[in-house]
Each structure stands twice: as structure tokens, then as C-alpha cells.
Chains A and B, each alone.
Chain A
Amino acid sequence: MTVTAETVIQASALVVRYGATEAVRGVTLAVRRGEVVGLIGPDGAGKTSVLRVMAGLHPASEGSVTVVGEDAWRSRRALHAHLGYLPQRFALYGDLTVAENMQFFALLLGVPEWRPRRDELLRRVGLDRFRDRQADHLSGGMRQKLALAVSLMHAPGILLLDESTTGVDPVTRREFWRLLADLVADGLTLVLATPYLDEAERCSRVVLMHRGEILGEGSPQHLTELVPGTMLEVAAEPRGPALDALRGMQGVVEVQQFSARFHVRLASGATAEQIRGALSGAGVIIHEVRAVAPRLEDTFLHLTRAAQRRATGVIP
């Protein structure tokens, strides 16, 4: 993947309002061909709204979105050929078979030569053995694969996925990502929305969103490097006194407990030696202290807190 690839989607100062609610508040974002871009943030971050404008389902209230250079709303009919969109709640015809669902959407979308395309996609998503099964009789994971195949029937170059893996178990989720990886290898551009920070690792670029705004973007590695100070993992017992001692220490920004392990973020200048000293002083047995990489969640918190400080002028 080269960084000089052409821009296929450009959002510029995008604002989306529903009545008085401002769901997206000035988002500027470029998606280049072949990228896997993840819009990541909690419920209410504005991810779905951004995808809906990209898909030509909703106009921008302010600003603009272009897809392959054309306005996403005004040229939505023509742009359909370029875009696949898999919403969180997709519609399949439960009493039609797998193959009939594919045929129905192919005819609806006016796909020429749809039979070979259908057969290829069913093979790809592993549903060719189930082509005569009614959609209502498929497992959740299989229904999702069928919905993916349907959204790709017209061979779009860009696929928009809205929380496709929410509530999906890890095995099914990994299989789904395997399919996506395979499509990306063939040149598909992916833009996906997810509330799960651990899915960020799957993306070539992550856009962290919160309350309608972009907090930060970059590769997952780049984003975790934004967290200042150092992160330590401390294994110590008994847990209660260890937690109290860590939280009471000068230079400790935050402590998170993972069973008998604590992730401790230190301000610049504080050292692991000081941690050891404070814990020993509290009568706590230290099993291990080691440096660990911050996680994307730490970046998210660092950025939301920084944004809040800027908004309120409060220095914690």
C-alpha cells in the first residue's frame, strides 16, 4: 500500500444535524484507495452519521463529502456503482434462499452478468454449500456473510461497514476479518465504524471519534505514541493495599486494575524505582514491574481529557 494513492473519499468540515442534535461537528477526513480506515468511538460519537453521508443516504448539513471526486449527495445515484454499504441492521429476505437473495439484489441493482458474480461471491464467503438454504435458517455469522456478499454484488471499489462485528463472537469475527482481508488484498477500500478499540489493530488507519468530532488519527502505533509519560505493569499483592498505595503516589497519573496486575501511567519524570519504594513502604509484595506499551484506550482517554481541559479551561 502506498501513501500516495489517490483520495477516494474526502470529507471537508462535515456537519450533520438531526433537528437540534448535532451528530457530526466538523469532520475533515480523506480516505485513500486501498486503505482500511476505522472510525472508532463509543455510541454517540457520530460514526454512523459519517458513513451515511458517505453512502449518499443523508445530505451534509454543512461542509461536504465527495466520493471519487463527486458530491456524495448530489451524485448519489451515479456513485452507487462505487459504493457498497453494510448497515448495522441489514435486510435479507428470510424466506428466500441464499442464492435467491443474491439474485434479487443483483436484479434490483441492475448488475449485468450476475450469475458468475454471485457464484464467485458465494464461494468467497463460504456459502456455496448453503446456496439453497433459506436465509432465516442461517446462523448469525452466515447471515452476516450473506449480507456482505449482497453488498458486494455490484463489485464496488469502496465498502462502508457499520458495526458489522458488534455482538459477534471472536471466532466468527476473525472469520469475517479474514474475508475482509482477502477483499482488501484484491484492492477494496474499507471504511468501517466500530465501538471496539481492539478492532483498531485491524485498520491501516484509525480515526478516533468522540461526540461528533475527530480526536486524533493515524496508524494504531502512531496513536499509542501520543500518550505522554510511561506505562508500567505492576504485579503486586495484596491487591487492595497495592491499589491504594499506587493511587496515592505522587507522579502517578492513573491506575487501572487487571486482577492482581496494575497498569500505572506515570507522569514524565516519575520512575519505576519510586513505585517500588512506595509499594514496599506500604507492605505490599511486588512480583513484577515492567514497562508496557500504552493501549489505544489510553490514547482515547488522554485525548478526551485534553479536549475537555481545553473546553473548560480546568487544569486537573
Chain B
Amino acid sequence: MNPSPTVVIAEDLSRAFGDFVAVDRVSFQVHRGEVFGFLGSNGAGKTTTIRMLCGLLSPSGGRAAVMGQDVAAHPMAVKRHIGYMSQRFSLYRDLTVRENLRFWGGAYGLRGRPLAEREAWAVEIGGLDGLEDSLVRHLPGGFAQRLALGCALLHRPPVVFLDEPTGGVDPEARRRFWDLIEGLSGGGTTVFVTTHYMDEAERCHRVALMHAGRLLAMDSIAGLRGVFGKAVLVEIHCPMAPQALATIARIPGVTETALFGERVHAVLEHSELQERVRKELAAAGFAPAELECIPPSLEDVFIHVIGEADRT
């Protein structure tokens, strides 16, 4: 694929609050039309990074630019280039759909005919036809979410930040939302998504993992699965799995274990350890045990990368 122009750039971007370094020399580039996922534990520095990219907080080191505008030197220009959507906070629940659109349009300096055109556009992409005069608090979750997205895009920003956009909505609405996002991306809008939820993260073209202020990994979903190296993830089916978990966790070379219903997921340093696991389980009375190598989920990748970083 041809490299698209860079829309968001961070170079050694840092931010300290007193002695606490919230963001520690983070560098990345996001391209035009990319859906870029930003993942990390609470306190990882995600929100601080995004606040800097939005021109709301100035960096204490390094630099960042959005659409070529330096976030520290031209925060107002940056704000014009971005949209921000958080499902929970950006709508007025006691206003109607139309009133919310007018409010946000006004806040972005739209009026008259351009505003009317964008309102109509937001109603159309949101599937909100006929609901213009409904109060937002009466809208089902999926509709409110698409309205929030429309509001964030009224001023045609080339970059939009989405904060856990589809939490709690039903799968039908979620699919519709992501179809919309792919459509925007295809039209050249850059989409920056922060989420704790791996099914949202899997929709992203590229994902960055932050932990303790640092960027630990950044790649496509397929590329991230490669971080396991020689280590393998196995799913273990055996009698009394909840009780067997402790036996598995004690085997040298088993770096991670988790109970999944009546099965155990374990990360083994290498594939040959499978025989050892089977033997130890048999010796402890948990036979027969079936082991199967499975592809790691994004959550497994996340835990693995953070575990490696904490060990070194």
C-alpha cells in the first residue's frame, strides 16, 4: 500500500507532573485514513497523550503535531482539526437530537446553510431520520452513540478521537458503528480510538500499547500476535480445571495462566513444554488432559507485552 500522508506525529513526546512522568518519550505517526487504536492500563499515560494531541495540555518534552500544526505552539489551530467523541459525556440528554446537533454545530462556528447541511448529513449517517425531535435520553444506546459521532464530525475534522466508543451497546449497533468508521476511514478521516475492549481494538488497522508512560508495542493486529516469539498459548481441557490451574501455574516455563470456564489458558516458553504439562497434570490426578495451541487474543498479547516489560 502507498504510504499516506502523516496526520498525527509524536516525537519523544513527554509530560511530567512534578516528579511523576506520565508520558515518557513516546513516538509514533498516524497516517491519513488510518484507524489507530490506543490501548493501555489505567494510568498508562493514554489520556495524557491524547490531551496533548488535542492541544489541551502542553508537553514538557518532545513535540507533537496534528495536520502539521504543533500542539504547543498552535493549540487553537489543532482544536479546529479534531473531533472528540465519548459515548458517555458528549451529548445533552435533556435536549433533542436536533438541539444537540445545533449546539455542537454552533460550538464549532457553523450556522445557516452549512449547519443545516451538516445536520442533515449527521441525521443520515446516524440513521436518525424521524428521530430529530426525540430527547436523547429516550434514544436506544446505539442511536445515541451514532449521534455523538455525528456531533463530533460536524465541522469536518480530518482527525477524530473516540473514547471507548461502543461500550454497552448491542452487537447490531456496534457493527453498524464500525461500518460507519470504516466508511469515514475510506473517505480519508483519521480515527484515533482508545479502548479497554479487545473487540474494539481488533477493528483498528494498527494498535499501540502503552504502559507506565511508555509505548511498548505498535503494529497491526497480525503483527502484534508475533510478539509471542517462541512462546505458545495453549488451551488445556482437563477434569476440574479450576483446581488444576494451580498445578499448571507452578510448572517452570509456564509464564501465564488464566481460567476460561472449564479450560485453562497457559503461556509456555516453548512448544516442547506441552508434554511436561500433560505429565504433571496426570501426576496430580487431573487426567486426561487435552492440550491445543491456539492463536493468542489481543488481550493475551497485551498481558504478555506488559509482563515482559515488567520483568526487564
Contact = CB atoms under 8 A, between A and B. Distances in A.
B170 A198 contact: no
Contacts, number: 121
A41 B119 CA distance: 32
Interface string A16-44: 00000000000000000000100001111
A259 B261 contact: no
B42 A43 contact: no
Interface in A295-313: 297, 300-301, 304
Interface string B164-194: 1001111111110011001000100000000
B141 A44 contact: yes
Contacts of B246: 185
A141 interface: yes
B196 A258 contact: no
Contacts of B287: none
A201 B260 contact: yes
B188 to A, nearest CB: 12
Interface string B37-51: 001111110000000
User: Interface on chain B toward A: helix, strand, loop, or mixed SS?
Assistant: mixed
Nearest to B299: A170
Interface in A170-208: 170-174, 177-178, 180-181, 184-185, 195-198, 201-205
Residue in A140, A197, A258, A304 whose Cβ sees the most chain B Cβ within 10 Å: A258
B168 A43 contact: yes
Interface string B195-226: 01111001111000000000000001100000
B203 A198 contact: no
Nearest to A205: B261
Given A177-B258, A259-B205, A198 B172 contact: no
Contact of B171 (A167, A170, A177, A301): A301
B190 to A, nearest CB: 14
Contact of A237 (B1, B240, B261): B1
B199 A181 contact: no
A140 B205 CA distance: 30
11 contacts: A1-B242, A167-B164, A177-B258, A177-B259, A195-B168, A201-B260, A202-B259, A220-B261, A259-B203, A260-B205, A297-B171
Given A44-B140, A185-B246, 5 more contacts: A42-B169, A197-B199, A202-B261, A203-B261, A300-B170
